[in-house]
Structure 1
Amino acid sequence: MSTANDSQGLKIAVAIFVSLTVILAVTSYFLYSEYSKASEQLEAARNEASQANQKAQQANANLLSLRDRAGYSNLSDPSAIEQQIKQDQDALVEKLNTELGAAVQAIGRAQQEGATGPEVARFRQNIDTLLQSFRDESTQNPTFKGSLATLASLTANQASLASALATDNVRLRRQLENVNNVNQAELNTQQQAAQQAQDDLASEHRKYETLFDQQRQTIDNLTTQVATLRAENDQLAQRLANQQNAYEAERERLLTQINDWRTRAEKEEGVLDVADGYVTFVDYSTRRIRLNITRSQGARPQMILSVFDADAPGLPTDKPKARIKLLQVNERDSVASIEEEFDKTNPIRAGDQVYSAAWSPTEPQRFALIGKIDMNRDGVDDRDDLIRLIEAAGGVIDYDLPPPGSGQERGELNAGISYYVIDERQPIRTPSNARSVREMSLAEQAFAETKTEVLDRARSLGIRPLPVERLLSSLGYSFGMLIPGEPEATNDRALRNLLNPGGMSAPPPGTEEFERNRQEAGRAAPF
């Protein structure tokens, strides 16, 4: 605004200067033209000219002073000064646009960050209005006074805006201080809790350090004890090994003695075993007899016993007089039925001996079955029938090693077994599916090796061998007898429906077709 006023003053001075020059020229003209008339007025005109000259000089001095004060002392041409003033106004407008635009953006950011007071928005609107007024003043009526007034308004608005922002800033600072105070209080609480937790952790750490030291001391003590116990264990292991060796040697010596005593006892060809009981009464009308065998001795119904003559020494070649089956076992005696008599000329009498190869009044006889057992010598394994006979007589099977195709090994050899039963007889009839030695399968070879090992083991345990023929004789077995557990009667119609389902016919046993089918089934068998 000061620049515009200076330019206006300069224009006025220039106009005055021009007017004075024209007046001076006119005056000189009239003076020269009317010299005669102006002589008397010469002095007055000179005085006036002198005064005008002084005024012109004063106006010129004022113009120069105004030019210097306006900041254009380097310019002498009024048009150049005016042009420079216009350029400076345009530059000022552009600078104000830039600065005030930056101020508006700063105010916008301040509002986004929390300067929400209404005076801030109002002062921002004032900036836009004043800036537009300054633009209009500079373009439509560019006066120095108007520019100064607009700048004064802008300055006042900026001061008010700064004050509002300062006030809002103070409010924000107070809010931030309150928030900081709250946060600081919370932080102090958290720090106290953290310090307490750290103190607790240190306390726990010290406690566990103490426990760790105690445990480490305990571990050291236990390590020392373990080392001592290990040394003692090594000594005990050495002593145990020595004792085991001594035990094995003593065991072998005792087994050798037992085998020797058993061999000596068997060489006497004496009694196989003491009689298990005696016949006290015979009733041939009902085929019932009474025995002195009682329940307390371990007898039970359905047991099969053999009856020998009262004078029989119990030789292995002796044949029993009859086979009986216990029907009722009482506290003082027992009742048995006569199942079969082998010698009709020598009937059962009171005083005859009752013997069971599988049972004794003290404990049952224990047996081991090794290899194939062919009771009727038809070439087919009959171990199931023998097991039923032994169990029916009160005996127990502790170990069984069947041949391939007849079952799985079960039980275990032990020194408590009385006999191991073997069958070394040749079958009377060779089955159609029998194989020669040259055709022995891998399974049969493995079974032969296992059988050899089992026999060696049985002999080392002192178990006595018992041929199956001797066992069958003592059990009262006869060819074709009814084995306990076998069916006593059959339903021929149901059997035909079972063998020939849906009307299909199967070849009867003994025919060539039946034997051919059985041979094919034997070749397809896994063993």
Structure 2
Amino acid sequence: MAAPSKKPEAIHFVAIVFFLIAAVCGGGWYMVFKDLRQVQGQLKTANEGKSASDAAATRANQDVQELKQLLGNAQPEVGTMADPSKANTVISDVVNLMRRVGSLAAENNPAATPHVTAALNDFATRFATQDAELKKLRKDKEDLNVALQAVNAQNQARVDEALTSKTKSEADLQQNITQSEEQHKVKDQAIQQADEALRRETIEKEQLRDELVRTKEDFEKRITTLKQTVNFYRKQLQDVLDPNFETPDGRVTGVDPENHVVWLNLGSLDNLRPQTTFAVYVKDNTGVSRTQKDIKAKIEVTEILGPHRSKARIISEDLRRPIADEDPIYSPVWHHGQEQWFSFVGRIDFDGDGTYDRKMLEDRLASARAHIEVLVNEEGVREPADSKLTPRSKFLVVGPMEDPTLFPGQDEKQDQIKRVLTEHKALVDEATENGVRVINLQDFLAMMGIEPQQRLYRPGENRPFNLKAGARSTGINEPLGDRTSSGRVSGKYTPDRVNAQKESSGTTSGLFKK
């Protein structure tokens, strides 16, 4: 049998390893156990400290809850004094409350955080002040109540007196009402009797009024008939006798036919003004202002030369009857400085251009110191308003009247013409009643010495038109002077042949002799 080997076997190695592991583990467990004992000691110490802290925290929490209960605030979070403005905390609510109650500390120093004690002291002080004021007000109220009771007693006495007076007044009123009713019955009976009498009188008056209306209508018809008869006989009398009370205003004292100038026996003492126009009549006239046939020329005063001397230019002239010395002159709007009055109705057209020449009329009358008493304007309205024609008017001058039927579809124009025609009829009646002579505008202008002129030529219209007169200049910067034509024509064309064309003597100029 073989002897056992002394080399280590595998089991030996395993045992060694196991032993080493056991030794290491045993040392490790020893160290762990040792540390565990230390940790347990520390844990015990910590648990004892925690118990003390928990007890302190519990006491602090109890104190906080008691303070919350005391403050009446149930916010879960207390907050910090470092940030008292944080919302939803006990500290922020208390701070805001202290500020609301008006802490003196917060008012004196708004940046400082108010304290409860200071706020309560301040509130107590204010409360004491308010309580003192309240007591004073109560005392004042008691005094006022005493005074009010005294006033109420006086007022009650007055009310009682008024009630007594009212009772007496009502009794008196009832008595007066009873008396008034009896009086009203008597008056009603009298009124009924008066109404019956009035009814009978009214019937009688209506009958009288009807009779008066019939009588008035009869009188108006008779008056109209008499007016027509008077106008008829007046026209016949005028046609037969042709009475005329107008006299010449002056006469011609000199004539310059070459320069178309005449001289008059009127001047400054006669209150004559330049631009006054006159009609020149023949010496054997049938009466000035009677007919245009006696008018031979029209003149306009240009210069006042003396007390009874003036110069006038010839506006127009009948070449068959030239102006001569001692020819009478007349204008209805001028009479030795006396003021004349006239009334006008119809279209006042001086130059025949179809326009209303009111301004020209007023200027002509003003230059002769004449005035307008009544004028019916283009709209058919009297000027001045509500004016009446009186005997002061020398003439009623009637201009052309338009026919409203010539303006179909023009209602405004027709109404205007109808108003003018109505005023024309009324003015003619007023002139008849006041003995004022009625003449047409053409005769009036002719007697004034006004020559109608038309400045605008319109084809188809037979109206006068002035052409430029005179010759052309013979040099530059030559004075123009008066270049108006003298108006002389050859005797061959003179209608009356007074200055007939002279026959030739047969003698020729020496320039044409051989």
TM-score, normalised by the number of residues in structure 2:
0.39
More helix by share: 1
Higher relative contact order (CA 8 A, sep 6+): 1
Select the structure of larger CA radius of gyration: 1
